[in-house]
Chain A
Amino acid sequence: MKVEIEINNSPQAASRYVTWAWSPCRIRVTDPAGITGTSATVGLTQTALGGGGSIRFASTATGAGSATHSLSVPRNGTSVSFFIRGLTASTADPGVQITARRTGTTAPVGTVSLMVRIRKDATTLTNGERDRLIAALAQFNNQGLGRFTDFAGTHVSAGSPEAHGRPGFLPWHRAFVLDLERELQTIDRSVAMPYWRFDRPAPSLFTPQFMGQGTFNGPGTTPVTFAATNPLRFWRAGPAPGIMRDPAFNVNGASPGPLSQAAALALGNPGALFRNFRRLETPLPGTQQDYHGMAHVSFSGPIDSIPTAAQDPLFFFLHCNVDRLWAVWQRQQGRFDIAVAAAYETVTPPNRIGHNLPDTMWPWNGVTTPPRPNFALGGTLASSPCVGAPGPKPKVSDCFDYQGAIKLANNMGFSYDDVPL
C-alpha cells in the first residue's frame, strides 16, 4: 500500500509551506496492494527535520488540533481531506515530515516534508535564515536590473495618495509587503519577510552582516558598511549603488521616536475603532509621537522620505512591523471581519478611490487613469502556490482576514511569530 499526501491541496513541492492558519490537505491511496476491504485506516505522525518546527492535525479547520491524526482512506483512490497548521516555526526548509502508516504496522506508506514558514522578529533569525533572506533580496534586486525597481518606483510621491494619509494605508502596505515576500519566495521558498521591532533594541539588524552599519547621527551621505561577503553590498535601487541610512539613535537601544507597542495599540481607543487605530501612521496633532512615521525618520537617508523610502530594503522590515501591529490589534479586538463596522473606516461620502472596502488597489489593478497615478509598475500581485488570496488585483476588503479566521479562503499565506490564529 502507498499513499500520496498533498499539502494545501496541491501535489507541488512549492505548496508545502504552512503558517498558523489551517491549511487544507488531502491523502489518497496510490497503490492499494495489501488493502483487503474498501478502505484502510492510516495514522499520520510528524517528525522534526533539520529545519525544525511542529504542526497540528485536525479533521476540520477548527479547534486546537492534535499532534497525530487518524483517518480512513478509500482503496479506490478517492482523496480524504484533513487540515494542518503550524504550532512552532521552522528555521529552514524542510522542517517537518509527515509520515503515514497503516494502523498496526510500522513501515511508512507515504511521507511528505514541509516548512512552517512564519514572519519573525529580524533579530531572532538564525544566521542561515538571515543569509538566505539577504541572498534572495540581492538576487531580486540584481544590481538594480531586477524587479525590485518596480517596488522602489511604486512608493513615490505620485503613488502616495494611494497608500498614505487615508484609511487604506494599512491594507495597501499589507499587500505591498506581501507582494515582495512572494517575489522573494520564488527565489527561495524558505524566506519569509522579517519585521523590525523599532520600539525595541535591534542591534543585530544594523550590522555589516545583515542590513549594514551606518554612522550614529551621520548625515546619511555615505553608504552603510557591509561585510565583503554580504551580497547587499551590490544593492542599487536608485541611480547610484549603495544604501544610505545613518541612524539618529544608538542602535544598541530602541529608536526614541516611535510609540511603544502598548501605546500604539491603545490608539484604537475609545471603541477599538479602526479610524482611531490608523492614527499610528503620523504624529498625532500636537504631539511628537506616532508608530510609523517616526520609525521612518529614525534615520537620515532614503528611508526618511516618501519618494525614496522603498529603495531601502529595511523599508519592508519596517512596514512588516507596522502590519504586525495591525494584526495584533485585529486579534485583540476581533477586527478581521469587514462586516464589523469598527474593523475599517467607512464614511459618507466615500473615501478617495482606493481607500474604500470594494475598491481595487493600485498598482496591482493596472489602472492609470485619474485620479490614479499615470503609471502602474510591476503588474498584478504575485501569486502563491499555497493560497489563493488576496488575488492578483486585490481589493481593500481582501486584506483583513489574513489568516482565514473568518473564511478559510481569505488566508493570505503569512503569519507572525507573536500573533496566533
Chain B
Amino acid sequence: MVDVLPTPIEIFIGALLLGTGTILFAYLRARRTIQNLAKELELARERQREDERELTQRSALDSLKDEFVSTVSHELRTPLTSIRGALGLLSSGVLGTVDAKAQNLLRIALTNTDRLVRLINDILDLERMDSGRSVLQIRRCSLPELIHQATETMSAMADAAEIRLTVAANASLVLPSVFFDGDSDRILQVLTNLLSNAIKFSPGGSTVTIEVETPPEALIFRICDQGRGIPEDQLETIFERFKQVEYSDSRHRGGTGLGLAICRSIVQQHGGTIWAQRNTVQGVSICVRLPRMQRTYDAAVAPESEGVEDRSSVSDHVGYSPLDGQRPFLTETGKILHQS
C-alpha cells in the first residue's frame, strides 16, 4: 500500500513599499494538481476495497467456523442422544429390575456419558466466548437473588455429598442492598460452577461458605471451601483450560477441566477479575470482583432489548446433570421455548 502522495508547495514572498515604510509579506500555497487529486482518490478507493475484501474474508471464515462448530456439535449429540436415553431408561428401572452388578455398570456408563455431554457443552461455551459471539444481556441484577438461586440449585448436590452450604453472617447484613449491572444468567453460571467445584473438592461434613464484600463501585463474592486446597504454584493456572490440581480430577470428580476457564471468561467479559487464594486454616477461596456499573458497551455487551440472545450454551448447569436444566427462552411472539 502507498501512502498519500507528496504535495508540492508554492511560496510567495513580496514587499509593499509605502510612504511610511515597507511591508514584507509571504504566503504558502499547496499546489494540488488535478492529476495528484485523482491519484489520491484512487489510492483511497484501493484502500477501501482492501478493507472490504478483508472484512468479507473474515466474515466468510467466521461463517465457516460457525458451521463447523454447529455440525460437530450436532454430529456428537446425535449418537449421544441414543446412548444417554438407553442408559437412562435401563438404569431407572422403568423397563424392569437390573441386578446390582449390572446396575453399577449402567451407573458408570451414564455418569461418563453425562461427563461427555458436559465436555461438549463447555467446549462450545468457551469457543463462543472466545469468538466474541457470546453477547451479555446487561441489566440490573440482585446478588442476593442470584446467590439464593445458586444455592437452591446446588442444594441437592451438596446434600448428596453431606456438605453444608451457607452464606456468611456478615454477608447476610449487606446482601439486601447488593445490586449490580450484569448478565444474571452468566453470573448465576459462575456461582453454580464455583459452588459445584467447592462441593466436589470438600470432604463430607464440611461447610462451603459464600462471603460478600461491597467496596465502593464494586462487589466481591468468595466461595470458600474446607477441602484439600490448591498448591501455591497452581493458584493461577487452575483457570486455564483443562488445568486441574491433579490429572485424575476430571475422572474422579466428574469435572471437565473447563469450568473455571468458563468462569474466568464470563467474569472478564463483565470487566471483573477472578482469583484463587488459600484459606488460612484449610481449603481454598475462589474470589470474584465485579464492577457495580457497566459504563461501556463493547462488542460483547448488548442492550437488554436485543431479543433472543446468541446463547447456545447448554452448560449453564455445569456441575450436575447436563440434561436436567430447562431454561425457557422467549420468542418474538412471546411464546416460551424450552431449552433442556
Decide if A and B are genuine partners. Answer: no
